[in-house]
Structure 1
Amino acid sequence: MAIHGTIHQRMLRGLFLGLCLCSGLASAEVHKGHAIAMHGEPQYPASFSHFDYTNPNAPKGGSLRLHVVGSFDSLNPFVPKGRPAAGMGATDNSHLYDSLTVRGEDEPFTQYGLLAKTIEWPDDRSWVRYHLHEEARFSDGHPVRAEDVAWTFNTLMEKGRPFYSYYYAEVDNVEINDPLTVTFHFKPGSINKELPLIIGQLPVLPKHLWEKQDFEKSGMSIPVGSGPYRIVKADPGKQITYALRDDYWAKDLPVMRGRNNFGTITYDYYLEENVALEAFKSGNYDWRHENNSKLWATAYKGPAFSKGQIKTETVAHHNPWGAQGFLFNIRKPLFQDMTLRKAIGYAFDFEWSNSNLFYGQYKRNRSYFENSDMAATGLPSKAELALLEPFRDQLPDEVFTTAYQPPQSDGSGRPRENLRQAQQMLKQAGYQFRDGTLFSPKGTPVKFEIILSSPAFERVVLPFSRNLKALGIDASVITIDSAQYVERIRNFNFDMIVGRIGQSSSPGNEQKEYWSSAAADQPNSRNLIGIQNPVVDALVDQIIAAPNREALVTSCRALDRVLQWNYYSVLNWYTNEHRIAYQSRLRHPDFARYVPLDTSLDTWWDSTAQ
């Protein structure tokens, strides 16, 4: 993706385009505004003063201390090398880097201008133009200009993480119209209403500094950004601290009022989650989002809680969960047999796990778009069938005839009836059980590894492994350190993992990296399962091209059915609640009025700040 021609030539082209629009050579109506919505109109008008979910009177100052389990050795989150520090933000929610736009968190999918003062686009969304704030500045005082936007995009597409090349694949070129105006042109024939919104999520980097450095090199050089914070301390693998900038250029913009309230934000690194929890209870850091149901039920007790020094809250939400499960790596020959994948699913006893391990806090995950209207339920609708029928001969019959439901058990921990069904289907597929071992139709023992990065999951995975043993399957459970785990995942060097594939309320381009054939063999992509299925590819294209919300939901449901009935994972569980604990001096917006889409802390504040 190159920027062609001199500045003068580019300005002439921009002028010519404007004349074309005015003269009718381009027939599509052009819209210009402070925000752009995926469907319909933005919730907030141009005159709005702040988002409803923020407190514009929140004090600035104080501190926030957080924890991370693992390590880091890089301050460049944009390249596949190294382990970037927390808070860097490779796409959005960065302490350091502003993006062209920011999302409204209390509506499905709308982007409001941040670096961009106004946004311009035609009816057919074949391009999008951003007019930058003239006062936008990087932390070194250098102005943010269109050339920074274009340079960032081209560099990330050429040298950045694989995510960018998938996410922005349908961008044809980026054009500088003048120092404050940049236009992204989309590929001819592209039908993607989401593109003008996701381009806005682009973090903008300072060209004047990076073009003098090796962008592809990870390292610990302190970066320069245009965001609300700067790094004041970075101790690899141990701690990173950000300080609020007094000279932050956008602090009084409506999209930033009531946000970024802490004077300093520090991330402390721990090697183990259990050690981190005890450190929290001792007051060594301020806030936790608890994912472990057992710990939530048993560990959040003691003097600090009874005295009110630490508060706990359970906050209901309606966010799409996506899918959590035991993910097969179907690049492995063993797991290319769908019958084996299906049979393995019968060994997971969710009912026993939820009762005995999770204190009844979870629901069964049965969809890749769980907890949303995009989840496939019942039989396919007429609209779904219209998408699925052309591929009938490439799909399991159940996609058309049966509502997907994971196996259920009696909750005993020994799902004998389920295991009996699994044995029967394996036998019919040519598998043999001899001397306590299951052999494939080719005569090889069925064995694989389940790798974990945290011992906390052993209590969940070991009973699953034990049930597999009853089928003659040797599924060894191995816990490895976080650095080795990350490296193996990046290179797809695993048999099975416990993974989560998250979803947003408006799925789009990111689905290519989750499921597409092109992403399957691209190291560091998010197609962890290794799916290479032309039907999946076609349905992902339908999601991206969806002209309205109804079509988007239909396409997601159709894709969901195909993923379900191909048994690409053993789906686990989900919750529609946030479980949070925090030091009592912290405050947050009224959750009774605003249900947060995530547990982002950029709207919280320190009540002791002066």
Structure 2
Amino acid sequence: MTRPAAARAIALAREGETSLRWLATGLGLAGALVLAGALQVRAESAVIVAHGISTFGDLKYPADFPHLDYVNPDAPKGGEISEWTMGGFDSMNPFSVKGRAGALSSIMLESLLTGTADEIGASYCLLCETLEYPEDRSWVIFNLRPEAKFSDGTPLTAEDVVFSFETFLAKGLTDFRTIAAQRVQGAEVLGPHRVKFTFKPGAEMRDLPEMVGGLSILSRAQYDRDKLDLEESTLTPYIGSGPYVFDRMEVNRTLVYKRNPDYWGADLPINKGRNNFDSIRIEYFADSAAAFEAFKSGAYTFRNENSAKQWATAYDFPAVQAGHVKQAVLPKGTKTTGQSFLFNLRREKFQDPRVREAIGLMFNYEWSNQTLFYGQYARITSFWEKTWMKAEGVPGPQEVAVLQPLVDEGLLPASILTDEAVLPPVSGERQLDRGNLRKATKLLDEAGWAVGADGVRRNAKGEVLKVEFLNDDPNFDRVLNPFVENLRALGVDAVVVKVDPAQAESRQRPPTYDFDIITGHAQTGYFSGGDLLQYYGSETADQSAFNLMGLKSPAVDRLIRVVMAAKSKDELTISTMALDRVLRAERFWVPQWFKDTHTVAYFDMYEHPETLPPYALGEMDFWWYNPEKGAALKAAGALK
């Protein structure tokens, strides 16, 4: 039964309840039986049985949909797609802070529910046939598909689901266990293919069925047999139930996954036209310059170009001139990633917001975009950039209603109710903007960082205001060096610390957090919920792989709970706007830039649906290989 149908059934039952009670009183036992039956119908109708679940409103796809709208259901299977990544890997465990996990090392694993690339806040049954839940979402039952099995041929059962949940609750990355322990009461096996999750009274229930439904399902048999440990680094790949399985690796150089010809779910409507490549190969390179040279020679075949300079100036190599490599600018409808310079708030020197604001004033985005990026980018200004939930201007009455209690309790300044939402500073055409330099000078002077005779700023203890930018990509030096020069003009002892990707990851992850400023992602979702606790909650600040800046704000904590408790899209929008406004006022980031399109280059043997979905490029998902074009490229010697 769909959610609206269930609601109508409950309403009808309620409308008839009074007359039924009167009838029962007049007819004795017979009436009581009638009433009992009617109330039973009402109770049963309150439990929704569906093929999916959405945060708000209806699902786009009905239970009998033949395939997703944005795929080619007749896409051929075959070929290989290969891409690159930077650094190296020494583990195939993506759930541990120990070691550096290989790219796509969780590709083998599936979850009970899965999303689509043309909807927001919707999840459909994958490993399950149906799910059941009451209107208050205080529990959820998943009815598993009996045909679901792991790639080794063993059945996937409710025991594996409960085992996976309990293992993630006890081991691995701390973010999930912290959030789940607060909100999930437990999981229980109701039958070989039936599992129930019960949520804690008082918890915000809106996104909980989707949260537990999105958990990766491990094979208990493999976990025990191979003596795996979710917290330990290992080169033993996890066995999963997904369409791809591990094929081979060359540590720190190459990872290959192959399509499982016996994949149990190949014919499911949600999988039609997807998982089309016979193999997916990832090549590792020490830096992006070496990776680009390798692409030019055909060492890998698909590149989502992230360098504006290279896109504008470097795609004139022979393979492009010969027509072997195709360039395309494709639509991109996703919200921004929140890419930004992130301060480590655990460092005493960054605890004063005036210091953070002053440093942010020295990054000249406008000069960088024109001089370094060929005008290809736009500035990120909000944690919900490119969405309807972005805070703008002064707060309206509904936002004020959300913020006022926090002002009354002294958790926020009164100015949050009247000031415009914080925007990044605008700079002039010259690299060093003198107006912003004067503003930053005033802020640091007020914060107690005075300029000495040597031109360097020190506090009352004589400590130098030193700022280190941790950088693992030599190509990013051209962005950082002007920023550093501007900071040094301000009297800040700013430097770029160059490390390799493994060192960068080690220094950024818990419990080390050994950095001043990094380039990271201030993450959010469209319909944010419990994920906000991972990204911005005080409880995870010193153990999270996502809350890298270490934000601990009672006001933010309270607003996260307001967002999580929103009962409608309108409520969620207003509460998210309020949270966006407060996060921006914290100034723990210097927002960077985003691009509204995908700029991709690939050897001309791949094809995609004419209309791409708004929320995914999907080259590994629903693109496919054209064997005739591939053969022509090989005959021409274009590929290695």
Larger radius of gyration: 2
Matches of 2:198 and 2:459 in 1, distance apart?
A: 52
Contact 2:84 2:284 in 1 (8 A): yes
Report deviation, 1:32. Answer: 0.6
Contact 1:319 1:504 in 2 (8 A): no
Contact 1:507 1:543 in 2 (8 A): yes
Contact 1:28 1:122 in 2 (8 A): no
Closer/same/farther in 2, CA of residues 190 and 27 from structure 1, 3 Å limit: farther
Is residue 509 from structure 1 mapped to residue 523 from structure 2 by the alignment?
Answer: no
Matches of 2:626 and 2:239 in 1, distance apart?
A: 30
Judge which range, 159-168 or 219-228, deviates more: 159-168
Closer/same/farther in 2, CA of residues 428 and 25 from structure 1, 3 Å limit: same
Alignment equivalent of 1:297, drawn from 312, 315, 320: 312
Structure 1: 4+ residue segments shifted above 4 A: 19-28
What is residue 614 of structure 2 aligned with on the other side?
595
Report deviation, 1:312. Answer: 1.4
Residue by residue over 1:502-531, the C-alpha shift from the partner in whole angstroms, topping out at 9 and shown as x without a partner, is 333222211111111111111x52111111
- 1:56 partner letter: P
Question: Pairwise mapping of residues 47-126 of structure 1 onto structure 2 (< 5 A)?
Answer: 47-89=64-106, 94=107, 96-126=108-138
Closer/same/farther in 2, CA of residues 370 and 344 from structure 1, 3 Å limit: same
Contact 1:327 1:568 in 2 (8 A): yes
Contact 2:93 2:237 in 1 (8 A): no
- 1:450 partner letter: F
Alignment equivalent of 1:196, drawn from 205, 209, 216: 209
- 1:558 partner letter: A
What is residue 423 of structure 1 aligned with on the other side?
441
Matches of 2:242 and 2:357 in 1, distance apart?
A: 48
Alignment equivalent of 1:214, drawn from 194, 206, 228: 228
Alignment equivalent of 1:250, drawn from 252, 261, 265: 265
The secondary structure found in structure 1 opposite 2:140 is: strand
Query: Number of matched residues?
Result: 585
Contact 2:81 2:620 in 1 (8 A): no
Matches of 2:451 and 2:386 in 1, distance apart?
A: 39
Closer/same/farther in 2, CA of residues 112 and 25 from structure 1, 3 Å limit: closer
Report deviation, 1:260. Answer: 0.5
What is residue 580 of structure 1 aligned with on the other side?
600
Contact 2:105 2:237 in 1 (8 A): no
Judge which range, 481-490 or 215-224, deviates more: 215-224
Closer/same/farther in 2, CA of residues 21 and 493 from structure 1, 3 Å limit: farther
Contact 2:277 2:620 in 1 (8 A): no
Contact 2:352 2:447 in 1 (8 A): no
Report deviation, 1:434. Answer: 1.4
Residue by residue over 1:298-320, the C-alpha shift from the partner in whole angstroms, topping out at 9 and shown as x without a partner, is 11222211222111122232211
Report deviation, 1:138. Answer: 0.7
Question: Pairwise mapping of residues 394-409 of structure 1 onto structure 2 (< 5 A)?
Answer: 394-403=411-420, 404-409=422-427
Closer/same/farther in 2, CA of residues 525 and 24 from structure 1, 3 Å limit: farther
Alignment equivalent of 1:139, drawn from 147, 151, 169: 151
Closer/same/farther in 2, CA of residues 374 and 82 from structure 1, 3 Å limit: same
Matches of 2:104 and 2:185 in 1, distance apart?
A: 31
Contact 2:78 2:276 in 1 (8 A): yes
The secondary structure found in structure 2 opposite 1:185 is: strand
Contact 1:260 1:603 in 2 (8 A): yes
What is residue 625 of structure 2 aligned with on the other side?
606
Judge which range, 377-386 or 146-155, deviates more: 377-386
Report deviation, 1:27. Answer: 8.5
Contact 1:327 1:569 in 2 (8 A): yes
Residue by residue over 1:368-398, the C-alpha shift from the partner in whole angstroms, topping out at 9 and shown as x without a partner, is 1111112111111222111111112322444
Matches of 1:452 and 1:328 in 2, distance apart?
A: 14
Judge which range, 448-457 or 24-33, deviates more: 24-33
Report deviation, 1:37. Answer: 1.0
Contact 1:319 1:505 in 2 (8 A): no
Matches of 1:67 and 1:115 in 2, distance apart?
A: 30
Matches of 1:509 and 1:174 in 2, distance apart?
A: 18
What is residue 271 of structure 1 aligned with on the other side?
286
Give the root-mean-square deviation of aligned CA atoms.
2.0
Alignment equivalent of 2:563, drawn from 543, 565, 571: 543
Report deviation, 1:192. Answer: 2.6
What is residue 174 of structure 2 aligned with on the other side?
162
The secondary structure found in structure 2 opposite 1:387 is: helix
Matches of 2:462 and 2:520 in 1, distance apart?
A: 30
- 1:318 partner letter: G
Residue by residue over 1:335-370, the C-alpha shift from the partner in whole angstroms, topping out at 9 and shown as x without a partner, is 001111111111111110011011001111111111
- 1:469 partner letter: R
Structure 2 unaligned spans of 5+ = 1-35, 631-640
Closer/same/farther in 2, CA of residues 21 and 438 from structure 1, 3 Å limit: farther
Q: Percent identity?
A: 39
What is residue 485 of structure 2 aligned with on the other side?
466
Closer/same/farther in 2, CA of residues 222 and 429 from structure 1, 3 Å limit: closer
Report deviation, 1:597. Answer: 3.0
Structure 1 unaligned spans of 5+ = 1-18
Closer/same/farther in 2, CA of residues 250 and 329 from structure 1, 3 Å limit: same
What is residue 564 of structure 1 aligned with on the other side?
584
Residue by residue over 1:70-106, the C-alpha shift from the partner in whole angstroms, topping out at 9 and shown as x without a partner, is 11111221222221111123xxxx2x11211110210
